[in-house]
Amino acid sequence: MMTAQLLAYVAFSVFCVLKASSQDTFTAAVYEHAVILPNDTLTPVSREQALALMNQNLDLLKTAIESAAKQGAHIIVTPEDGIYGMNFNRKTIYPYLEDIPDPQVNWIPCNNPNRFGHTQIQERLSCLAKDNSIYVVANIGDKKPCNASDPQCPPDGRYQYNTNVVFDSQGKLVARYHKQNLFMGEDQFNAPKEPEIVTFNTTFGKFGIFTCFDILFHDPAVTLVKDFHVDTILFPTAWMDVLPHLAAIEFHSAWAMGMGVNFLASNIHLPGMRMTGSGIYAPDSPKVFHYDMKTNEAKLLLSQLDSHPNHPVVNWTSYASSIDALSTGNQEFKGYVFHDQYTFVELTGITGNYTICQKDLCCHLSYQMSEKRLDEVYVLGAFDGLHIVEGRYHLQVCTLLKCKTTELHTCGDSVDTASTRFEMFSISGTFGTQYVFPEVLLSKVQLAPGEFQVSSDGRLFSLKPTSEPVLTVTLFGRLYEKDGAPNASLELRVLTLKVMLIVMTPIVYSLY
């Protein structure tokens, strides 16, 4: 028979267990790693040479992991291509690959290194996680043999995957994700036949994972949030900044806000290739971010996050479709943003209200500048269409942006500094999608935490005068269902453009 005392004791222990088994907040770390690249990615190296290079990078990751753990981090994310580098072909990546088993095998490589053949990198990552009692997220390469019984088996008899792995604080492999949306030129890897939905639970929330270019597409990224209700996204990336709308910190923080999740973005640091920009983003605001085109230094970022962030519901068309067109009076003109033809109108006054439309999208803006400078031109732009260069994705975009020069034909060109602050702005659009990502980017490619908000009726508006001059204020919408099936004649145009780009520019502006 249970005494009252025993009952009380049981109740108390259950309470304690419950309390100990979940936590309201946690500390996240992301590491912008200055990756050591292999000298040669065109001729195959031996496994020993491949391991030597990977261990050099792991030595640097080890320092970051130890430092993050000492500062109380529960999880650390390291970048895509952060262990072996980039620019491989199918043959030359091969010595860097390991067979990565399905996490269901319940494996701690640090305790049992020989269970799945030669897996030195997984062993080392597992030991780093275990020895420091921290979740470690890394990007490595997986190989899976196949044969004629599979009609899609590549001629060399194996699948090769760009793969994220997660080891928990005991060193156990808890997640393996094969990148779905490979970027152009990533020919060394195969995409899995179906998008993989990879999640895992912790005492500090539910996690989902994907890689770099995946962020522009519906699967698995949107599905993880909408159908699997993850709290936090883990995002290793090797991201080349493209202004005005696709700088890493800008777009990744906007995705966190638009989707209502925590987002841990770890980029590699290669400023010579315009690869920089990492951060820890909560749905209401970026917590910490890093953008550095000037030095070759790596950077470790830490921040506390809510384990289960709220995500407010926004109707992205409600306000914009409820008001009449705001008077413009100014001449519309066309211009290009990253190869997409926008409709623009110049903001001629220090203050004003404008509407600009393209196809199904009308964008409204109310603004007040601190001063109307003669040496800077800002425009309001609208774009509704299929983007087809370096990826195929349908966009609806409303954007306030600074033109590169006072010549209107430069509106939409990359520019990273500005001189005009805004006293206020409010931008909205008649979006045909619930997937809209709000971006505010200040001069020198900086974010504006705490300076703006999104209302439930779909306005992106300032809370105070901007702390720095403005590069762009943008609502970046995605219409996934209009991406359509790849179209041969369009693909041909993309190819032609790619070749032109490669010929014309030393750096191909691209996202990995």
Could you list the active site residues? 80, 179, 212
* Helix intervals (H) in 94-173: 120-132
Backbone angles phi and psi of 373, in degrees to 5: -80, 150
Tell the burial category of 285 from Cβ atoms under 10 Å away from its Cβ (0-12, 13-18, 19+): middle
In this chain, which of 67, 191, 200, 426 binds ligand NAG, going by CB under 6 A?
200
Of residues 42 through 61, those in contact with ligand NAG by CB under 6 A are 53
Smallest gap from Cβ 206 to ligand NAG, in A, equals 6
Binding track, positions 315-344, relative to ligand NAG; x by CB under 6 A: x-xx--xx----------------------
In this chain, which of 7, 14, 490, 507 binds ligand NAG, going by CB under 6 A?
490
CB nearer ligand NAG, residue 53 or residue 233: 53
Dist. CA 474–CA 400, nearest whole Å = 6
CB nearer ligand NAG, residue 339 or residue 404: 339
* In the block, residue with structure tokens 């066309």: 334
Query: Could you tell me if 164 and 211 are in contact, meaning their C-beta atoms sit under 8 angstroms apart?
Result: yes
Binding to ligand NAG by residue 489, rule CB under 6 A? yes
Smallest gap from Cβ 210 to ligand NAG, in A, equals 16
CB nearer ligand NAG, residue 84 or residue 383: 84
Dist. CA 503–CA 481, nearest whole Å = 33
> What three-state secondary structure class fits 398?
strand
CB nearer ligand NAG, residue 157 or residue 450: 157
Residues in contact with ligand NAG, total (CB under 6 A)? 23
Dist. CA 338–CA 247, nearest whole Å = 12
Which residue, among 438, 398, 449, 442, has the nearest Cα to 420 in the 3D structure?
A: 442
DSSP 409: G
In this chain, which of 25, 406, 487, 496 binds ligand NAG, going by CB under 6 A?
487
Binding to ligand NAG by residue 203, rule CB under 6 A? no
Per CB under 6 A, the segment of 21-29, 146-154, 437-445, 504-512 that binds ligand NAG is 146-154
Strand 75-77, strand 25-32: pairing: parallel
Structure tokens at 352: 């004003």
Dist. CA 236–CA 164, nearest whole Å = 8
Binding track, positions 148-177, relative to ligand NAG; x by CB under 6 A: -x----------------------------
CB nearer ligand NAG, residue 81 or residue 250: 81
Binding to ligand NAG by residue 366, rule CB under 6 A? yes
* Helix intervals (H) in 76-210: 90-93, 120-132
Query: Could you tell me if 60 and 53 are in contact, meaning their C-beta atoms sit under 8 angstroms apart?
Result: no
Binding to ligand NAG by residue 351, rule CB under 6 A? yes
* Contact footprint for ligand NAG (CB under 6 A): 36, 38-39, 53, 146-147, 149, 199-201, 206, 315, 317-318, 321-322, 351-353, 366, 487, 489-490
